[in-house]
């Protein structure tokens, strides 16, 4: 029961924000070194436009993750900013790709893991966009472009997204309570762990239902630990 499982999301690794990469490197080398499992629930990257990106800024980090993978099982769920992470990068990291909603057993908990953007159903504009960019057609067309073309499109999409977010209330950007309740029912789980909203918290929804929200790295580490039958959320704001 001593082995620990760790959960992280929303690091938003960015070559322009080296502090986050440094903190993650420390986390990988020190904090995760004794763990049995590490789940990365999306938005590891601020943007990932395809596995042909050399990502030179992350060379040391990627090597450390690969090294960790020899002792720790590393799993990845795609987020809304890195849904183009594919087998090539995951092979480099020694990580395996999980379905966008994956159910695991932790002690007596049946746990659903997901990035969390699919719970934000009040934001219908975003959900329409999500359906589009998650389609195989869209992804094949996008990945057929040069990296420079993809960067230009991504920049444009981010500009539109920032503009749209300014017009949306905090409420619209959070999860929809009914969608959350439906997810517990449909998946038959007692725990949902997700990120995306950057609102780290442990929510007890009912005596036998909890929703755990992972925090973003800003630039301090934020993570969830499962050890000795208990969840602990470690975040500078919680
Ligand atoms: Mn996200």
Contact (Cβ atoms closer than 8 angstroms) between residue 67 and residue 32: no
118 Cα to the center of ligand 1, angstroms:
10
Q: What CATH superfamily classification does 5-234 receive?
A: Metallo-dependent phosphatases (3.60.21.10)
So what's the pLDDT on residue 218?
94
69 Cα to the center of ligand 1, angstroms:
24
Q: And the tokens for 152?
A: 């230009």
Q: pLDDT averaged over consecutive 10-residue blocks of the chain (238 residues)?
A: 89 97 98 97 97 95 98 98 97 98 97 98 95 96 96 93 90 94 98 97 95 97 97 95
Q: What's the Rg (C-alpha) of the chain?
A: 17
Which residue, 38, 47, 97, is CA-closest to 65?
A: 38
Q: And the tokens for 151?
A: 């960067």
**Cα 215 from Cα 210, distance rounded (Å):** 16
Residues 6+ away with beta carbon under 8 Å from 1: 228, 229
**Which residues are near ligand 1, the ion (C-beta closer than 5 Å)?**
43, 79-80, 196
What is the pTM for the complete model shown? Answer: 0.96
10 Cα to the center of ligand 1, angstroms:
6
143 Cα to the center of ligand 1, angstroms:
21
Work out the angle between the directed axes of helices 136-143 and 124-133 (0-180°, nearest 10): 60
Contact (Cβ atoms closer than 8 angstroms) between residue 41 and residue 9: yes
Which residue, 217, 216, 212, is CA-closest to 233?
A: 212
Instruction: Give the HSE-up count for residue 39: Cα atoms under 13 Å, Cβ half-sphere.
Output: 26
218 Cα to the center of ligand 1, angstroms:
14
Instruction: Give the HSE-up count for residue 143: Cα atoms under 13 Å, Cβ half-sphere.
Output: 17
Domain extents for the chain?
5-234
94 Cα to the center of ligand 1, angstroms:
23
Which residue, 93, 86, 88, is CA-closest to 63?
A: 93
So what's the pLDDT on residue 171?
87
**Cα 13 from Cα 19, distance rounded (Å):** 9
So what's the pLDDT on residue 13?
98
Contact (Cβ atoms closer than 8 angstroms) between residue 200 and residue 233: yes
So what's the pLDDT on residue 2?
65
Angstrom CA distances, 65 to 72, 131, 170, 187, 228, stand at: 10, 31, 34, 31, 25
199 Cα to the center of ligand 1, angstroms:
11
C-alpha torsion sign, points 61, 201, 219, 57: positive
């Amino acid at each position: 029961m001593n082995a620990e499982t760790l959960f992280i999301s929303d690091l938003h690794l960015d070559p322009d924000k080296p502090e986050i990469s440094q903190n993650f490197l420390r986390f990988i080398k020190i904090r995760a070194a004794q763990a049995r499992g590490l789940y990365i629930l999306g938005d590891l990257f601020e943007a990932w436009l395809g596995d042909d990106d050399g990502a030179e800024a992350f060379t040391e980090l990627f090597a450390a993750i690969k090294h960790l993978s020899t002792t720790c099982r590393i799993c990845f769920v795609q987020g809304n900013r890195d849904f183009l992470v594919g087998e090539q990068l995951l092979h480099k990291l020694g990580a395996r790709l999980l379905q966008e909603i994956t159910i695991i057993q932790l002690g007596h908990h049946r746990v659903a893991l997901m990035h969390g953007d699919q719970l934000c159903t009040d934001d219908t504009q975003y959900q329409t966009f999500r359906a589009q960019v998650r389609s195989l057609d869209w992804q094949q067309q996008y990945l057929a472009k040069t990296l420079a073309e993809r960067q230009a499109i991504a920049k444009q999409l981010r500009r539109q997204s920032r503009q749209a977010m300014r017009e949306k209330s905090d409420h619209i950007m959070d999860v929809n309570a009914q969608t959350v309740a439906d997810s517990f029912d449909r998946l038959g789980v007692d725990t949902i762990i997700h990120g995306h909203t950057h609102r780290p918290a442990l929510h007890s929804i009912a005596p036998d239902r909890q929703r755990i929200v992972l925090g973003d790295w800003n630039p301090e580490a934020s993570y969830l630990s499962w050890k000795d039958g208990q969840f602990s959320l470690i975040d500078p704001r919680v």
